[in-house]
């Protein structure tokens, strides 16, 4: 393995040469098959984790259930205190964890640090929340009666996360779930198991320092068959899954068939509308970062730019020119803008999409392709590519997790652009670039964007943790992170308390004995 200081980083984070991929907080040897982690940065092998066996999984759930019995009784502000301390550990290890994210997943070091910052921010948010898990009081129709609504913990929460945000998405879920009194079982992507080990080590330390039971944070590893153990398991009342629409449909249906709850955060097909009143400079920065940041592997990445015909050529030329400045290469080198795709399967999907869209009539205006030669040995580095295309093309309708940007024109008023923007099955993120208040508010109105996220004069990616994160339609409808997303991790209970010595019935029903 080439050395980017990664050996030291792994050591600092307690990641070994061979790791037990199954953990309830104590160390033991895993029995399952070895999952090997390779970096897309150089193609080198980093380390391995064992996949979770059925027997190990059952033990994990047992331990988690035991832990829940204690954890739900710890006061919410005390649970918040534990999460606060976890946030402190993340602060202390921000550089190490950011570097490991960058090395194992391939995003730029800046973005790796940004991802750890999102974890720290959601911990802070959860700490505040731990004193604000508010219910309601409700006026009763009966004299001498009081009604209220309370929120109680659910139990074991299963978290399935994707490779592209290997640590932040786990934190959005787990920090909230913990202050809510739930315990969590996490299955990270099999493409990024080592960042999972590093996070589990940090939380295990925090729990031990607080004398909290093993099992509040559990880790399992493996392919979809391991995920399926959880989705089918009635002992896991909530599954929160982030990933492809294909995966989400299977997870959603499996969990629904046992009437469990799920939070699904699936694919996007995010567009920026550029109107004649857009600021060109902001449009270019927002579009280019949205399309090539994380090598187009965010669920919020910008896939489509819908430009008014009157300014189409100007905007197109400005974006094409900006693409000429992009530096592609080792993401740990901070002068590079674009790192590698996660693996060669992803590279093939990228190549296939470029070929397919051309067959449908798409015109490539910034050439794609796989980079070869020194520094590109992993075979995962590709050129961000731009295609002029129609929204109706099958390829444009699909989310390809790679830096391919589709440009398209609209004519007439902003409603025509909104119709194109909404004319896909996904509904995660959307944006409009305009300084015209009528256009902006039309876009945000009930007849505007149909996405979970709709921005004005900001790109489609890079959401802050304070808002609820997720989308509509095939994006799955789930909400994670800020606002009142915490309610998804709790069960609601309605209480009616009678403080009289009479028992009047609701709806005025008379029942005298």
165: contact with ligand UN1 by CB under 6 A: yes
CB-based contact 330:340 (threshold 8 Å):
no
| Closer to ligand UN1 by Cβ: residue 102 or 204 | 102
The stretch among 164-172, 320-328, 351-359, 393-401 that binds ligand UN1 (CB under 6 A) is 164-172
- Using CB atoms, what's the residue nearest to ligand UN1? 463
The stretch among 35-43, 297-305, 362-370, 433-441 that binds ligand UN1 (CB under 6 A) is 297-305
Q: Cα separations (Å) of 5 from 2, 90, 281, 340?
A: 9, 19, 37, 19
Min CB(506)–ligand UN1 separation in Å: 45
User: Which token pair is 506?
Assistant: 């609701």
Angle between helices 312-324 and 280-292 (to 10 degrees): 50
User: Which token pair is 197?
Assistant: 């080990």
State which of positions 225-284 bind ligand UN1 (CB under 6 A).
242
Min CB(334)–ligand UN1 separation in Å: 20
Burial-class residue 72 by CB neighbours within 10 Å (0-12, 13-18, 19+): middle
| Closer to ligand UN1 by Cβ: residue 114 or 504 | 114
CB-based contact 411:309 (threshold 8 Å):
yes
Min CB(296)–ligand UN1 separation in Å: 11
Active-site residue (options: 265, 398, 439, 474): 265
107: contact with ligand UN1 by CB under 6 A: no
Residues 6 or more apart whose CB falls under 8 angstroms from that of 305 comprise: 271, 272, 274, 287, 315, 319, 405, 406, 407, 408
Nearest CA among 124, 44, 142, 131 for reference residue 85: 124
Residues 6 or more apart whose CB falls under 8 angstroms from that of 232 comprise: 254, 258
Give the residue carrying structure tokens 């097909």: 269
The stretch among 68-76, 103-111, 163-171, 226-234 that binds ligand UN1 (CB under 6 A) is 163-171
Min CB(429)–ligand UN1 separation in Å: 7
| Closer to ligand UN1 by Cβ: residue 12 or 117 | 117
Total residues contacting ligand UN1 (rule CB under 6 A)?
A: 10
Angle (CA) 454 455 461, round 5°: 95
Burial-class residue 15 by CB neighbours within 10 Å (0-12, 13-18, 19+): buried
287: contact with ligand UN1 by CB under 6 A: no
Min CB(341)–ligand UN1 separation in Å: 14
In sign, the C-alpha dihedral spanning 236, 244, 21, 107 is: negative
463: contact with ligand UN1 by CB under 6 A: yes
| Closer to ligand UN1 by Cβ: residue 65 or 457 | 457
| Closer to ligand UN1 by Cβ: residue 9 or 299 | 299
426: contact with ligand UN1 by CB under 6 A: no
CA 209 to chain centre: 29
| Closer to ligand UN1 by Cβ: residue 147 or 282 | 282
| Closer to ligand UN1 by Cβ: residue 24 or 164 | 164
φ, ψ of residue 286 in degrees (nearest 5): -60, -40
Distance separating alpha carbons of residues 487 and 497, to the nearest angstrom: 23
Distance separating alpha carbons of residues 75 and 77, to the nearest angstrom: 6
Min CB(2)–ligand UN1 separation in Å: 28
Instruction: Mark 7-26 with x for binding to ligand UN1 (rule: CB under 6 A) and - for no binding.
Output: --------------------
Distance separating alpha carbons of residues 157 and 184, to the nearest angstrom: 5
461: contact with ligand UN1 by CB under 6 A: yes
Active site residue 265: yes
Among the listed residues 130, 300, 442, 449, the single contact to ligand UN1 using CB under 6 A: 300
Nearest CA among 40, 91, 124 for reference residue 347: 40
The stretch among 32-40, 214-222, 436-444, 456-464 that binds ligand UN1 (CB under 6 A) is 456-464
467: contact with ligand UN1 by CB under 6 A: no
Instruction: Mark 354-393 with x for binding to ligand UN1 (rule: CB under 6 A) and - for no binding.
Output: ----------------------------------------
Instruction: Pick left, alpha or beta for residue 349 (phi over 0 → left; psi -120 to 50 → alpha; otherwise beta).
Output: alpha
Burial-class residue 502 by CB neighbours within 10 Å (0-12, 13-18, 19+): exposed
Min CB(508)–ligand UN1 separation in Å: 52
462: contact with ligand UN1 by CB under 6 A: yes
How many contiguous H segments (helices) and E segments (strands) does the chain have? 15, 22
Among the listed residues 83, 101, 299, 342, the single contact to ligand UN1 using CB under 6 A: 299
| Closer to ligand UN1 by Cβ: residue 164 or 330 | 164
298: contact with ligand UN1 by CB under 6 A: yes
Min CB(268)–ligand UN1 separation in Å: 8
| Closer to ligand UN1 by Cβ: residue 204 or 449 | 449
- DSSP characters over 269-337: -EEEEE-TT--HHHHHHHHHHHHHGGGG-STT-EEEEEEEGGGHHHHHHHHHHHHHT--BS-TTSTT-S
302: contact with ligand UN1 by CB under 6 A: no
Active centre residues (catalytic): 265
Q: Which residues bind ligand UN1 (CB under 6 A)?
A: 164-165, 169, 242, 298-300, 461-463
């Amino acid at each position: 393995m080439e050395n980017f200081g990664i050996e030291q980083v792994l050591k600092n984070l307690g990641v070994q040469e061979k790791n037990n991929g199954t953990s309830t907080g104590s160390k033991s040897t895993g029995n399952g098959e070895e999952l090997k982690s390779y970096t897309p940065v150089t193609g080198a092998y980093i380390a391995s984790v064992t996949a979770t066996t059925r027997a190990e999984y059952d033990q994990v759930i047992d331990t988690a259930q035991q832990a829940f019995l204690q954890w739900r009784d710890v006061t919410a502000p005390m649970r918040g205190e534990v999460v606060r301390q976890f946030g402190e550990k993340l602060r202390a290890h921000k550089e190490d964890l950011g570097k490991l994210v960058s090395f194992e997943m391939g995003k730029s070091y800046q973005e790796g640090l940004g991802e750890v910052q999102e974890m720290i921010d959601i911990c802070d948010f959860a700490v505040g929340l731990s004193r604000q898990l508010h219910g309601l009081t409700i006026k009763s129709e009966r004299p001498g009666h009081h009604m209220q609504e309370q929120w109680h913990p659910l139990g074991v929460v299963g978290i399935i996360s994707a490779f592209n945000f290997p640590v932040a998405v786990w934190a959005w879920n787990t920090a909230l779930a913990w202050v809510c009194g739930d315990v969590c079982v996490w299955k990270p992507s099999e493409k990024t198991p080592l960042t999972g080990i590093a996070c589990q080590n940090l939380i295990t330390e925090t729990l031990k320092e607080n004398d909290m039971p093993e099992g509040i944070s559990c880790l399992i590893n493996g392919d979809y068959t391991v995920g399926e153990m959880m989705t089918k398991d009635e002992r896991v009342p909530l599954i929160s899954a982030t990933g492809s629409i294909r995966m989400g449909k299977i997870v959603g249906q499996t969990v629904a068939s046992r009437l469990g709850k799920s939070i699904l955060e699936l694919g996007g097909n995010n567009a920026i509308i550029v109107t004649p009143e857009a600021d060109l400079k902001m449009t270019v920065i927002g579009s280019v970062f949205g399309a090539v940041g994380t090598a187009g592997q965010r669920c919020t990445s910008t896939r489509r730019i819908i430009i008014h015909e009157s300014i189409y050529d100007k905007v197109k030329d400005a974006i094409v020119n900006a693409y000429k400045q992009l530096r592609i290469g080792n993401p740990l080198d901070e002068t590079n803008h674009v790192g590698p795709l996660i693996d060669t399967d992803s590279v093939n999907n990228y190549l296939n999409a470029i070929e397919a869209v051309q067959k449908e009539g798409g015109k490539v205006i910034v050439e794609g392709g796989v980079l070869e030669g020194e520094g590109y040995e992993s075979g995962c580095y590709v050129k961000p590519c731009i295609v002029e295309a129609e929204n109706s093309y099958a390829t444009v309708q699909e989310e390809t997790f790679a830096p391919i940007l589709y440009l398209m024109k609209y004519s007439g008023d902003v409603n025509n652009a909104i119709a194109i923007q909404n004319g896909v099955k996904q509904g995660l993120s959307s944006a409009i670039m305009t300084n015209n208040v009528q256009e902006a508010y039309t876009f945000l109105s009930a007849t505007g964007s149909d996405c979970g996220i709709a921005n004005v004069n900001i790109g489609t990616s890079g959401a802050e943790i304070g808002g609820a994160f997720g989308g509509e339609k095939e994006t799955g409808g789930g909400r994670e992170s800020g606002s009142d997303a915490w309610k998804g991790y709790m069960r609601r209970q309605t209480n009616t308390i009678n403080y009289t010595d009479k028992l009047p019935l609701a709806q005025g029903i008379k029942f005298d004995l």
